[in-house]
Amino acid sequence: MFKKEKLKNNIRLITAPTKGTKTITVLVFIGTGSKYETKNISGISHFLEHMMFKGTKKRKDKKAISEELDSVGAEYNAFTGSEYTGYYVKSDYSNLELALDVVSDILINSRLDTKDIKKEKGVVIEEINMYRDNPMRQVAQNIEHLLYKDQPAGWDIAGTKKTVLSYTKKDVADYFRLQYTAKNTVVCVAGNFDNKKIKNQVSKYFSSINIGSPKEKEKVVEHQKNPESFIEYKKTDQTHLIFAFRSFFSLHSEKKFPLMLLANILGGNMSSRMFINIREKQGLAYYISSGADLSTDTGYLYIRSGVDNKRVHGAIKGILKELKKVKQKGVTASELKKAKEYFKGKTIMDLESSDELAEFLGSQEILTGNVLSQDELIKKINSVKLSDVNLLAKDIFKNENLNLALIGPFKNKKEFDDLLRV
């Protein structure tokens, strides 16, 4: 069970009391991310997330913030995506006031000091370098660039070295004032707390947040007529690749439920089609999985894997063969039943922890404004028909929706383009 309400200053509050737990999670979502940026300040949402931990009037620096939370054994961190930024503290339930105090303090009172900004540029550039050196991670960014090209949806969330070095204090402060507003904020509290007191507690700590109307993001433009590829040459011991099939629908569509089940059947676990046929039977890959990536205005189904450089062509053919089989013959009733039960079991287990529950509820609210409970989500999944999944497979697995990003020791793009047929 959860409760959704608005505070006087228009902050949205979601509370999810949980019996039997001794933890509390305070998770705050700000409705801004890389899709809300312009090219000259690309990556600034992520940079600002870093700056929130550098000190406030009350807590003079990073050490003061971290020591206070470390002293009670709390877990704390932040994350930036394309459409939201999140900040959380998870702790023993007796530390609720501390969690609220720290999270609200960094979100409202961070200094954004010029010296800290200068130093943090180096940190973020090293983070970019780290991701660039990790092909398993970088290939995920490459598929986004291939899908969306030179628009916010196709830019790296961390920005580029050039944009990061260009930020001024004014850039950071202006973006903070514009986007970090009450109207653009969701506070989610999950775990063991007094349900009668929580609204007043949150109101007290978040009363002085900025008031204003945040900037809207650009609408994503999608168009494709033929299969496309992004081949990045890199001397690696293993080739990392991702297939992405545009769905042309978003989080707002009811089609997301059969999409999630289709992804699960294909590569969601160790008994899925891809895992059994590509890894177990043919030994072509160590990791192979599939999933659905959906936002408020875009969506795609992906299959990702890491394969032997010498066998990459066979792996690509094998993956596409499995997709053709699903497209032509569909999935079976037993596969769909198993996928539903798997989804139900995973959801119930995941949402037993206060941090997972807070993210589950808060992310729905910040993205769609429509929050489904655990039971409502499972009901939606159970209502999916076999015909829904099979029709979706026919609609998605088309050449004009097919995209491949690959990182490995290859320079000839054509040799891969010639394989892209489904």
HEC-encoded secondary structure of 138-181:
HHHHHHHHHHHCCCHHHCCCCCCHHHHHHCCHHHHHHHHHHHCE
Q: Is residue 222 part of a domain?
A: no
In this predicted structure, what is the pLDDT of residue 187?
98
Q: Say yes or no to pLDDT of 1 above 90.
A: no
Q: Which domain holds residue 368?
A: 228-417
Band of pLDDT at residue 19, cut at 50, 70 and 90: confident
Q: Cα separation of 202 and 205, whole Å?
A: 5
Q: Is residue 330 part of a domain?
A: yes
> CB-based contacts of 372: which residues, under 8 Å, 6+ apart?
364, 380
Task: Give the residue-averaged pLDDT of 94-122.
Answer: 97
Asked if residue 382 and residue 294 are part of one domain, the reply reads yes
Q: Say yes or no to pLDDT of 31 above 90.
A: yes
Q: Is residue 69 part of a domain?
A: yes
Marked catalytic residue, from 49, 144, 335, 359: 49
Q: Which of 205, 239, 266 is the last residue of a domain?
A: 205
Q: Which residues pair with 244 in a beta bridge?
A: 302, 403
Q: Is residue 24 part of a domain?
A: yes
The angle that helices 169-179 and 114-132 make with each other, rounded to 10 degrees, is 80
pLDDT digits (tens, 9 = 90+) for 290-327: 999 999 999 999 999 999 999 999 999 999 999 999 99
Task: Give the residue-averaged pLDDT of 324-352.
Answer: 97
Asked if residue 233 and residue 188 are part of one domain, the reply reads no
Residues in the chain: 422
Asked if residue 376 and residue 276 are part of one domain, the reply reads yes
Q: Is residue 218 part of a domain?
A: no
Q: Which of 190, 205, 220 is the last residue of a domain?
A: 205
pLDDT digits (tens, 9 = 90+) for 207-232: 999 999 999 999 999 999 999 999 99
**Quick one: residue 73, left, alpha or beta (phi over 0 = left, psi -120 to 50 = alpha)?**
left
Asked if residue 397 and residue 331 are part of one domain, the reply reads yes
Task: Find out whether 98 and 72 touch, Cβ atoms under 8 Å.
Answer: yes
Asked if residue 265 and residue 198 are part of one domain, the reply reads no
The CATH number assigned to the domain holding 59 equals 3.30.830.10
* Single-letter code of the amino acid located at 222: E
Q: Is residue 92 part of a domain?
A: yes
Q: Say yes or no to pLDDT of 154 above 90.
A: yes
Q: Say yes or no to pLDDT of 368 above 90.
A: yes
Asked if residue 187 and residue 328 are part of one domain, the reply reads no
Asked if residue 252 and residue 169 are part of one domain, the reply reads no
Asked if residue 275 and residue 189 are part of one domain, the reply reads no
b/e burial code for range 293-320 (CB count within 10 A of at least 16 → b): bbbbbbbbbbbbbbbeeeebeebbebbb
Task: Tell me how many domains the chain contains.
Answer: 2
Q: Is residue 51 part of a domain?
A: yes
pTM: 0.96
Asked if residue 139 and residue 283 are part of one domain, the reply reads no
Asked if residue 259 and residue 142 are part of one domain, the reply reads no
Map residue 306 onto helix, strand or coil.
strand
49 part of the active site: yes
The residue to which tokens 């941090």 are assigned: 355
Q: Is residue 212 part of a domain?
A: no
> CB-based contacts of 108: which residues, under 8 Å, 6+ apart?
206, 208, 209, 210
Asked if residue 276 and residue 161 are part of one domain, the reply reads no
Band of pLDDT at residue 173, cut at 50, 70 and 90: very high
Asked if residue 176 and residue 27 are part of one domain, the reply reads yes
Q: Which of 173, 205, 237 is the last residue of a domain?
A: 205
